[in-house]
Amino acid sequence: MAGEKDIKIRNRSDKPDNVISNEHKIVSECEAMQSHLPVFMRSFFIYLKGNVLPRTRLAYLNDITFFCRYLTEKTAISDASEIHDITRQEFNRITAADVNEFIDYCRQYTVETEKEILVYENSNKTLARKKSSLSVMFRQLYRDGVMEENITDGFNPIRVPKAQEREIKVLQDDEVMVMLDAVSTGDHLSPKQRQYWEKTKRRDKAILILFLTYGLRLFELQQLNVSSFNFKRGEFKIYRKRDKEATMPLNQSVTEVLEDYLENERAAEDRINEEDRDALFLSLQGRRMTERQIRELVKKYTSIGMATSAKAGYSPHKLRATTATSLIGRGNSIYDVQALLDHDQVTTTQLYARHKKNIKRDLVRDMEWELERKERK
C-alpha cells in the first residue's frame, strides 16, 4: 500500500518484541474499526480502551460493526448508506424490541455473493456474546448522555447452558496416544498429508506436546520464541492474559521433542523471514505460524485420535480441557491445576474435576445386552 510505513519496535520492557508487535496489531485493528463507526460513540471507545483486554475490545467492535451494518442494510431506522454516517438522533430511535429483532436475525442469516448464497447459523452462546457487546455499548452511551434512555432492561434473555450443564469435550487417554502415534509415524494420514508431514512432523509433535502438557492458550503457544526457552535451567517463559509473565518448568518429554525439532527440522536462519527469526514455530514459508494454521493442525490430528472426520476435530481449547481433566484424574490438587492453567477462578477448574473421564464409556460397557444374550446360549 502506498505510503505505508514499516513498524519498528523500540522495546524497553521485559516483553519479547513479537508480543508487543502482536498487541500493536490488535490495537491498530481496533482503531481502524472505530474510524468506520459513528463519531458519537467516541466515549464508548475510550471506555473500551481503558477497561477491557485488546482481544475483547476487538470482539466488541466486531459485534457493534455488524449491528450498525444491519441498521443501514436491513432496517428503516437509519437513512445512512455508510455506518460512519449513522446519526445520534437515529441511534436514539432504537428500542429494545429492535435489538431483540437483531439477535433473532443473527440466529440464522444469509449473505449472497456473485457465485453463492452463504447461510450463517449462530449458537445461543454466540448470540449471548453479541447481546453482551450491545448491552455494554448502550449502557455506556446512556451514562455518557448520548442515549436518552437505557434500553438494555428490555433485552430478551438468552438461554445458555451453565458450564456444569454442558458436557466437557476432551480427548480420552487412548485417543491422545493414537494422535501422538499419528504425528510420530504418519499413520492414518493421506498420501498428500504425509508429504507435508515429512517436512513438519517434529514441529507438529512439539506443538501437540506443549498443548497437552501445559494446557496453553492458543495465543500463548503461537507467541512462543526460541529465546523463551532456557534448556540449561529447564524452564521457559510465556506471556499470559493481562500482561502476566509466567515461568514454566520443562519435563523430559517436552525437552526431547523441542530439541529434536530445533536441531533437526526448524529452518536455518537464512531461510526465515527477518522479523520471525526468533519465532519458535514456523510455517514452511519461514514465517511465524498464525493462530489459524495452528488451529487447523490441531483439528487434523485430534480428528485422527478420535477416528472422526477432519471437520469434527477439536480446537486447541479442547486440548487445554484435556490437560485439566488428565491432571485432575491423576490426583493433582485442583489449586495446583488452577495455577498451571492460569484460571482466574478455581470454580473454572472445578468443572473439570466434575468431569469423570470415561464414565459414560464404563457405564455402557456394563450394559452389553446382546453379548450377554449370546453368552447365555
Number of domains in the chain: 2
Residues in the chain with pLDDT < 50?
1-2, 165, 363
Residues 180 and 52 placed together within one structural domain of the fold:
no
> Residue 163's pLDDT is what?
54
167-207 residue pLDDT tens: 678 898 899 999 999 999 999 999 999 999 999 999 999 99
The last residue of one of the domains, among 103, 130, 160, is 160
Q: Which domain holds residue 307?
A: 173-357
Residues 98 and 183 placed together within one structural domain of the fold:
no
Residues 193 and 254 placed together within one structural domain of the fold:
yes
- Mapping DSSP onto H, E and C, the string for the chain reads CCCCCCCCCCCCCCCCHHHHHHHHHHHHHHHHHHHHCCHHHHHHHHHHHHHCCHHHHHHHHHHHHHHHHHHHHHCCCCCCCCHHHCCHHHHCCCCHHHHHHHHHHHHEEEEECCCCEEEEECCHHHHHHHHHHHHHHHHHHHHCCCCCCCCHHHCCCCCCCCHHHCCCCCCCHHHHHHHHHHHHHCCCCCHHHHHHHHHHHHHHHHHHHHHHHHCCCHHHHHCCEHHHEECCCCEEEEECHHHCEEEEECCHHHHHHHHHHHHHCCCCHHHCCHHHCCECCECCCCCECCHHHHHHHHHHHHHHHHCCCHHHCCCHHHHHHHHHHHHHHCCCCHHHHHHHHCCCCHHHHHHHHHCCCCHHHHHHHCCCHHHHHHHHC
Judge whether 223 lies within some domain: yes
Residues 225 and 129 placed together within one structural domain of the fold:
no
84-138 residue pLDDT tens: 999 999 999 999 999 999 999 999 999 888 889 999 999 998 999 999 999 999 9
> Residue 165's pLDDT is what?
44
60: CATH = 1.10.150.130
Judge whether 62 lies within some domain: yes
> Residue 146's pLDDT is what?
95
Residues 211 and 318 placed together within one structural domain of the fold:
yes
